[in-house]
Amino acid sequence: MSEILFDHDAVKHALDAISDRIPGEEIYLVGIQRGGAKVADAIQLRLEQWGSSVCRGNLDISFYRDDLDTIGPNPEVRPSELPFDISGRDIWLIDDVLYTGRTIRAAMDELFDYGRPASIRLAVLVDRGGRQLPIQPDVAGLEHVAPANCSVDLISGETWAIEQRRVK
C-alpha cells in the first residue's frame, strides 16, 4: 500500500527552492546513483537556465555501503563518473531522500578516494528524519517524518512525486 506524499507541483517547487540555495557561477554537483542522480540532473538544468556553469558527476556507492553483505550476492552496480578533479573544490552532494545518513557517509568515503574537496555540502529532495549518523543536509527541499516501517521514494518520469509505502 502506498500513498503520495508530495505531488508533481510540490516536487517541482522543492527543486526550484534547492537550486535557488546553491550559489555560484561554477558549481560542482555530484549525484548519488540512482535517485540522487535524477535530482542532480533536474537541479543542473535549473542552474544552467539561471546562468551558472555546472560540472556534473555521479557516484555509485555500492561497494562503500556498510551493509553490502546484507543486500544480496549480485547488487546492481553502475560506474561512478567524476569527469573533473574534486580537489580543492566546493562539492554539492545530491540525493533524493535522506534517512539514516549511511548513504551519505558512503558517498563521502568514495569522494575522498577521488581527492580532497575544499568542502562538501549536502542537498536532498526529502529529509525524512530518523538519522543513525550525525549527518544533516545543508538544503532540503521537503521534510516528512516517516515511520521506520515505511520507505519514502522518488517517482520520476513524465511527472515526479514522492510516495511512502509500508515495507514488510
pLDDT tens figures, 18-39: 999 999 999 999 999 989 999 9
pLDDT at 101: 96
Instruction: Using the predicted structure, report yes or no on whether residue 52 has a pLDDT greater than 90.
Output: yes
Distance between CA 120 and CA 107 in Å, rounded? 11
Q: Sort strands 26-32 and 53-59 into parallel, antiparallel or unpaired.
A: parallel
DSSP codes joined into one string, 53-92: EEEEEEE--GGG-TTGGGS-SS------B--S--TT-EEE
Reported as a pLDDT band with limits 50, 70 and 90, residue 63 is: confident
pLDDT tens column, 106-145:
999 999 999 999 999 999 999 999 999 999 999 999 999 9
Long-range contacts of 1-5 (CB under 8 A, 24+ apart): 1/165, 1/166, 2/163, 2/164, 2/165, 2/166, 3/163, 3/164, 3/165, 4/161, 4/162, 4/163, 5/144, 5/152, 5/161, 5/162, 5/163, 5/164
The parent domain of residue 36 ranges over: 2-69+78-166
Least confident of 10-14, 69-73, 101-105, 136-140: 69-73
Instruction: Using the predicted structure, report yes or no on whether residue 77 has a pLDDT greater than 80.
Output: no
Q: Considering the chain, what percentage of its residues have pLDDT values greater than 90? A: 83
Higher pLDDT, 62 or 9: 9
Instruction: Using the predicted structure, report yes or no on whether residue 76 has a pLDDT greater than 80.
Output: no
CATH number of the domain within which 115 lies: 3.40.50.2020
Residue 129 region, left (φ>0) first, then alpha (ψ -120 to 50), else beta? left
Instruction: Using the predicted structure, report yes or no on whether residue 69 has a pLDDT greater than 80.
Output: no
pLDDT at 145: 94
Q: Is 159 exposed, middle or buried (0-12, 13-18, 19+ CB in 10 A)?
A: exposed
Average pLDDT estimate for 136-160: 93
For the chain, how many structural domains are there in total? 1
Strand order in the sheet with 139-143: 53-59, 26-32, 90-98, 119-127, 139-143
Strand partners, 155: 161
Instruction: Using the predicted structure, report yes or no on whether residue 80 has a pLDDT greater than 60.
Output: yes
